[in-house]
Amino acid sequence: MKRFLISLPVMAVLASGCQDPDKNPPSNGGSTPELPAELTVQWQPIDNSVGSWKFFRSEFTLENKGPRELGNKGWKLYFSIIRRALNEGEGDETGIQNLTAQGLKLSKGDAAGSGDYYVLEPLPDFKPLAVGDKRVISVLFQDWAILKTDAPAGFHITFEGEGFDPKVAFAVQSTVKIDPNDPKQTTRWEGDVMPVQNPALRYDENPSQQDLDLAGRLLPTPRTVEAGAGQVTLRGGTVIGYPSALKNEAAYLSSALGDVLAGTVSTQVASGNEQISLSIDANLDIDGDGARDAEGYVLDVKDGKVAIKGADAAGVFYGIQTLRQLVPVEAYTAAAQIAQRRPELTLPEVHISDKPGFVYRGMALDVARHFQTKETVKKLLDVLAHYKINKFHFRLTDDEGWRLEIPGIPELTSYGARRGFDPAESEMLHAGLGSSNDLGGDDFVSLKPGSQKLANGNETWPVFQGFETATLNFVGKGSGFYTTKDFEEILAYATERHIDVIPEVDVPGHARAAVMAMEYRYRKYKDSDPTKATEYRLRDPQDTSKHKSVQEYTDNFLNPCMDSTYAFLTKVANELKARYDAVPGARLMAIHGGGDELPNPASNVWWTDSPLCKSNAETKNLTDTQLFNHFFTKWSQIIQKTGTKMTGWDDIIHYGLQLDGFIPMPWSNVWGWGREDDAYKYANQGYQVILSHSTNLYMDLAYNKDPDEPGYYWANFVDEKKTFEYRPFDIYANATHDRMGNPLAPSAMEGKVRLTEVGRKNILGMHGLLFGENLKSEGVLEYLAFPKMLGVAERAWNPELPPVSEMPALWGRFTNSLGQYVLPRLGAYRAVDLRDEIPNGVGVNYRIPLPGARIIDGKLNANVRYPGFAVEYSTNGGSSWKVYSAPVPVSGKVLLRTRASDGRYSRVAELN
């Protein structure tokens, strides 16, 4: 079998002591002595079935390539892995963790023993590894590993003595392989019946090509589309007329048309003679029920003119987005090169009337685990606006990073926004999730690859159409933050596109970056200014409570019994409010207060061993869950004092707390875990609810069971079919299989709460959620978000669905729309950039699906998930490729790939 390998050569410096010119200089700025050894490490999961499926066996194969032996002291190899290493002696009859016998010790890599950071080091009886020798080390980890993103990452090594600075580590490059045909590597446990993706499965699932009417070419689908027989042509010199209230929308449309049309497009206050007119009808009633339809619009293209009328400015803006989608695909693909813009655009005559089904149509982005630049966020916002998304849930804080400057508390970003090699965490957070400060310096990791190509093994530049080796080799912004100016720019950009930004401050768990930053602040001021030192402290230093989060953190809680905790939260909330106040038109709809994933109180102690909790008159007699409720009562009051509402994960109300005005986001609906109906319970009780279900809406989950698909899979595998077929008002219809691929009987959801008519009205909407553990580049972000987010956009605008029996036809129409119209435009998409804020803003790295294929009667039969995309095949190992058009005789190994209209390719699939 092919093995799951991680090759980790330590990049030795030249004998003269000069550094490799392709590597970054030492982060501490000093010279580097010759490294003692060029070490290669291979990591390989051997068998997921050991330990009664509770843990898996892996092997580290160490190879010494010289120049000297690797001895029994003086080196430490650090890395991150999301799986917990079993303790020494832990296991059962099929396997025991026994590193001592192998002369090694594996432990947490940081002084706090908290998180995903590990270190492997020799014991005195470790047999030195001679030059040219290899040694296999057996290590057990909890659960299983079936995707390459499960692999350890961010390897770095330290050496003692010989002039080495103990504060500087040296990067160790890595690769990974998994054999998709080995069930020991791809089966999670004996109940996992989900097949690994292959060409035959895809061939059987892929839809056939079909012609689409005009409505089928638009996304989200408008409610009424009446196509005419003629056309309207736009040329240079086009004028857009607008009333004063729509000046911004007119400017946006002018810029958008200018990106695809050669010649001038100007705007003016409406006189009645313009070719394009924008207007507002405050009483616009799309569905005829006698009530105004907010965000609704009417678009008319006829008699040589274009008219967009909205119930409000947002409605006009959405009419503009539909108008942009009427522009021929070919015009967009040509305009990807600005000099190739068409001199005229021909639009079909049409009458469209439309309105959204949900008032909340959103996307959540986590920038705490891996930072994304403001340019990346702005480009994303513009793409989201194009598909009529109107809410952006911005997850700014978590254990691994705090990403927003808070005036008056500089330590939150000077310390809490930095990761690197600092096991004592005296200056920054320890490296985590396999990354520190990307490929740059200032993180005490030297000799990192100097480019993404080098990080990728120096073979090819990563294209992020699936897993890339570079993501194991320090690619990923573990450090970074938004200044107040940056954040205000993002707010202004979103507001211009009718998107409300909802900032998240996740507390009291998931708060390690803040807690550690405030400990750093305490150390900085404790001698010179004790009052300042404790002003915002978040931890009781005498607290002996023991708990461990899902992510292995043991010290990531705010203490709910300290006045300084609430002083901190008040300061943060007020500074958030100040950012919105500084941006005209920006609306602080809500602050997300976090609240998720405190470990099970039955086996963890949250705060009841805190002396400060025991001595506080308000809290001394409270249990942990009562302390939790006490905390959120006060946190909600702090948020409400800013003039807005609190939203948050539904965990906040799991322990009986009733919060007026609270907007829960129920997420943990994994089929069979018991919380499938939480969202409907809350809606029926009177809460306004934002659907956030992990089974269908968590876009950071891998597309499918393929080792090369990046992402997690704890709740489900999630692709664009999961988002498109999601049923907001009957999620149980989506419960067809459990997360291991086993069919679920309809009776599995019997007894679950159903939505009442009142509850149905309390569903504000839904969003796609993209958590950031694996978002190590803009390319990965876009790959995981698109086309999944397109399914979210369609369903949030049109939440009503036909009977399940009619869904295959609807899915076929959707995939044809993606292949023939939507994705070709997205591949050439140019962000509407009125102020030159987004360099290189053309094209989105959406996922290109692998082809489906079977050999039938000796002939290759192939198809594709999005009809309209091209399939190419090779019978000579990839030396040359042919376009597939009809069944063709083949023999031996056949390689296949999908080509998108923008010239990009999917990964290569192999068919034997």
Q: What is the pLDDT of residue 9?
A: 34
Lowest mean pLDDT among 60-64, 790-794, 843-847, 899-903: 60-64
Spatial neighbors of 660 by CB under 8 A, at least 6 apart, are: none
E-state strands within 595-692: 645-649, 663-665, 689-691
State both tokens at 273: 């003679």
Q: Is residue 19 very low, low, confident or very high in pLDDT (cuts 50, 70, 90)?
A: very low
Tell me the mean pLDDT in the region 113-118: 98
Note the pLDDT tens digit of each residue in 745-775. Answer: 989 999 999 999 999 999 999 999 999 999 9
What distance in Å separates the CA atoms of residue 467 and residue 465, rounded to the nearest whole number? Answer: 7
The percent of residues above 90 in pLDDT, for the chain, comes to: 91
Which residue, among 749, 675, 751, 691, has the nearest Cα to 723 in the 3D structure?
691
Query: Which residue do the tokens 């090759």 mark?
Result: 7
Tell me the mean pLDDT in the region 855-883: 98
Q: Is 80 exceeded by the pLDDT of residue 67?
A: yes
State both tokens at 801: 């669905």
Q: Is residue 62 very low, low, confident or very high in pLDDT (cuts 50, 70, 90)?
A: confident
Note the pLDDT tens digit of each residue in 648-692. Answer: 999 999 999 999 999 999 999 999 999 999 999 999 999 999 999
What distance in Å separates the CA atoms of residue 57 and residue 50, rounded to the nearest whole number? Answer: 7
CA distances from 547 to 22, 319, 551, 600 (A): 44, 52, 11, 9
Sign of the C-alpha dihedral computed for residues 581, 584, 590 and 591 taken in this order: negative
Q: How far is CA 823 from the centre of its chain?
A: 20
State both tokens at 836: 């030159």
Q: What is the pLDDT of residue 31?
A: 54
**pTM, to two decimals:** 0.96
Which residue, among 513, 608, 502, has the nearest Cα to 551 in the 3D structure?
513
Q: What is the pLDDT of residue 32?
A: 59
Helix axis angle for 313-326 and 247-258, nearest 10°, is 10
Q: Is 50 exceeded by the pLDDT of residue 105?
A: yes
Q: Which residue has the higher pLDDT, 26 or 169?
A: 169
Tell me the mean pLDDT in the region 895-911: 97
What distance in Å separates the CA atoms of residue 654 and residue 127, rounded to the nearest whole number? Answer: 53
Q: What is the pLDDT of residue 93?
A: 79
Residue 471 and residue 360 in contact, taking contact as beta carbons nearer than 8 Å: no
**CB crowding 197-231: b at 16 or more within 10 Å, else e:** bbbeebbeebbebeeeebbbbbbbbbbebeeeeee
Tell me how crowded residue 912 is: count the other CB atoms within 10 A of its CB: 7
> Bridge-partner residues for 395, per DSSP?
366, 504
Q: Is 70 exceeded by the pLDDT of residue 899?
A: yes
Q: Quick check: helix, strand or coil at residue 146?
A: coil
Q: How many Cα atoms sit within 13 Å of 15 on the Cβ side?
A: 3
Q: Is residue 27 very low, low, confident or very high in pLDDT (cuts 50, 70, 90)?
A: very low
Q: What is the pLDDT of residue 2?
A: 26
Q: Is residue 18 very low, low, confident or very high in pLDDT (cuts 50, 70, 90)?
A: very low
Q: What is the pLDDT of residue 714?
A: 97
Q: Is 60 exceeded by the pLDDT of residue 705?
A: yes
Q: Which residue has the higher pLDDT, 46 or 369?
A: 369
Query: Which residue do the tokens 């907010």 mark?
Result: 294
> Alpha helix locations (H) across 72-217?
183-186, 199-205
C-alpha torsion 824→828→829→830, nearest 10: -170
Note the pLDDT tens digit of each residue in 810-861. Answer: 999 999 999 999 999 999 999 999 999 998 779 999 999 999 999 999 999 9
Residue 306 and residue 231 in contact, taking contact as beta carbons nearer than 8 Å: no
The percent of residues above 70 in pLDDT, for the chain, comes to: 96
Q: In what helix (H) or strand (E) does residue 332 lie, and over which residues does it extend?
A: helix 329-335
Query: Which residue do the tokens 């290189």 mark?
Result: 840
Amino acid at 897: R
Q: What is the pLDDT of residue 33?
A: 66
Q: Is residue 163 very low, low, confident or very high in pLDDT (cuts 50, 70, 90)?
A: confident
Q: What is the pLDDT of residue 61?
A: 85
Residue 81 and residue 50 in contact, taking contact as beta carbons nearer than 8 Å: no
Q: What is the pLDDT of residue 3?
A: 25
Tell me the mean pLDDT in the region 472-501: 98
Query: Which residue do the tokens 């109940």 mark?
Result: 191
Tell me the mean pLDDT in the region 901-906: 96
Lowest mean pLDDT among 39-43, 390-394, 606-610, 649-653: 39-43
Sign of the C-alpha dihedral computed for residues 878, 884, 889 and 894 taken in this order: positive
- 603 burial via Cβ count (<10 Å: 0-12, 13-18, 19+): exposed
Lowest mean pLDDT among 155-169, 360-374, 421-435, 883-897: 155-169
Tell me how crowded residue 601 is: count the other CB atoms within 10 A of its CB: 15
Tell me how crowded residue 569 is: count the other CB atoms within 10 A of its CB: 23
Query: Which residue do the tokens 């899902």 mark?
Result: 550
Note the pLDDT tens digit of each residue in 192-250. Answer: 999 999 999 999 999 999 999 999 999 999 999 999 999 999 999 999 999 999 999 99
**Number of helices followed by number of strands (H, E) in the chain:** 22, 37
Q: Is residue 20 very low, low, confident or very high in pLDDT (cuts 50, 70, 90)?
A: very low
Query: Which residue do the tokens 């940056």 mark?
Result: 486
Amino acid at 378: K
Q: What is the pLDDT of residue 63?
A: 82
Lowest mean pLDDT among 86-100, 704-718, 780-794: 86-100
